[in-house]
């Protein structure tokens, strides 16, 4: 598409310190969710459920790529990667990341995110809802393992009654 109006760049996040001298960088999760779920509603209504999920996954992916590039930087090994990620996600109040399984050779991973920003505390439904997170995690993994592609799937979610969101990440051969 030519003449894009909204191409993403990290700079678009703006200078919070200058712009919000009194309110600072903190806001209420409800507002974040209000925005996300209204987006989701409108997109689903216009393009259907499948398309909506796809758009969220892709958005998460873009967010993950930028996040890695701007927040994580130079990393030497997987342990360091996880450690840094855990610290960052906790510091940014995004969630508590844990590793259940990490088979680097096979490219098979299981992560859980407790107190997930998107879904913890949501009413129970039958749907795993964290599509955005799936894309986000996939992008992080792909950024770290530069030459691999990952398929990330949420297998347990707060919304399905679990107390944690659990993601599998598998290398796409």
Partner 1 sequence: MATQGDQQEVLLNLAVQALEDIISNKVSVNTLPADLKSHPEFVNLYEKLAAIRGFISALANGDLSQGMRVKGFLSGGLRTLQANLRHLTWQTQMIASGDFTQRVDFMGDFSVAFNSLTKVLAKATAELKESEARYRLLAENVLDVIMVIDLAERFTYVSPSIVRLLGRTQEEIIGRTIEEVLSFDSFQALCVKLRQLLADEEVVSQGHVFELEHFNKNRQVLWIEVSVNILRDDKGKMAGIVSVVRDISERRKAERMLQIAYDLQRKSDFFNDIINGNVSIDKDAIATAKKWGIDFTIPFFCCLIDIHNPIDTQQKKRYINNLLSKNPEYVVWDIRDNIGVLLQTCHTLDILDAGIQAATQIKEKISRYAPDLIVTIGVSDMHNGPDSLEKSYQEARSAIVSAKCQLEYSGGIYCYRDIGLFQLLATYDGKERAAEYIQKLIGPLIKYDRDKGASLLLTLEIILQSNNLKEAAQKIFLHHKTLVFRKQRIEKILGVSIDHFETKLALAAAIKLHKLSNLVNN
Enumerate binding residues for Zn ion (CB under 5 A): 119, 130, 157, 165
Site string for partner 1, 51-80 (x = CB under 8 A): ----------------------------x-
Own/partner long-range contacts of 31-34 (Cβ < 8 Å, ≥24 apart): 32/117, 33/118
Give the Å distances, CA to CA, from 65 to 14, 110, 130, 144: 18, 20, 17, 10
Nearer to partner 1, 75 or 96 (CB): 96
Contact 139, 61 (CB under 8 A): yes
Q: Does 96 bind partner 1 (CB under 8 A)?
A: yes
Residue 22 is encoded by which pair of tokens? 């009194």
**Torsion-angle region of 21 (φ positive above 0: left; ψ -120 to 50: alpha; else: beta):** alpha
Q: Which does 148 bind (CB under 5 to 8 A by kind): partner 1, Zn ion, none?
A: none
Is residue 130 within 8 Å of 118, Cβ to Cβ?
yes
* Dist. CA 11–CA 73, nearest whole Å: 17
Give the one entry of Zn ion, partner 1, none that residue 114 binds, where binding means its C-beta sits below a cut-off of 5 to 8 angstroms depending on kind. Answer: partner 1
The C-alpha angle with vertex 135 and arms to 27 and 109, in degrees rounded to 5, equals: 115
Question: Which value, in Å, is the radius of gyration of the alpha carbons in the chain?
Answer: 17
Residue from the set 20, 27, 124, 149 that interacts with partner 1 by CB under 8 A: 124
For residue 143, the partner it binds in Zn ion, partner 1, none, with Cβ less than 5 to 8 A by kind, is: none
99 binds partner 1 (CB under 8 A): yes
Span of 9-17, 26-34, 41-49, 159-167 interacting with partner 1 by CB under 8 A: 159-167
Which listed residue (15, 50, 91, 126) binds partner 1 by CB under 8 A? 126
93 binds partner 1 (CB under 8 A): no
Which parts of this chain interact with partner 1 (CB under 8 A)? Answer: 79, 83, 96, 98-102, 110, 112, 114, 124, 126, 156, 158, 160-164, 166
């Amino acid at each position: 598409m030519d003449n894009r109006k909204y191409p993403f760049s990290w700079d678009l996040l703006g200078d919070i310190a200058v712009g919000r001298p009194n309110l600072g960088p903190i806001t209420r999760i409800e507002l974040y969710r209000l925005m996300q779920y209204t987006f989701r509603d409108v997109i689903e209504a216009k393009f259907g459920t499948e398309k909506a999920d796809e758009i969220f996954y892709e958005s998460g992916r873009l967010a993950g790529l930028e996040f890695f590039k701007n927040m994580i930087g130079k990393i030497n090994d997987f342990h360091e990667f996880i450690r840094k990620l855990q610290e960052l996600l906790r510091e940014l109040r995004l969630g508590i990341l844990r590793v259940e399984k990490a088979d680097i050779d096979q490219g098979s991973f299981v992560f859980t995110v407790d107190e997930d920003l998107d879904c913890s505390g949501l009413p129970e439904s039958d749907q795993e809802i964290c599509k955005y997170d799936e894309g986000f995690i996939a992008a992080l993994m792909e950024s770290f393992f530069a030459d691999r592609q990952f398929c990330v799937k949420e297998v347990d979610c707060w919304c399905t009654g679990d107390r944690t969101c659990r993601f599998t990440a598998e290398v796409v051969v």
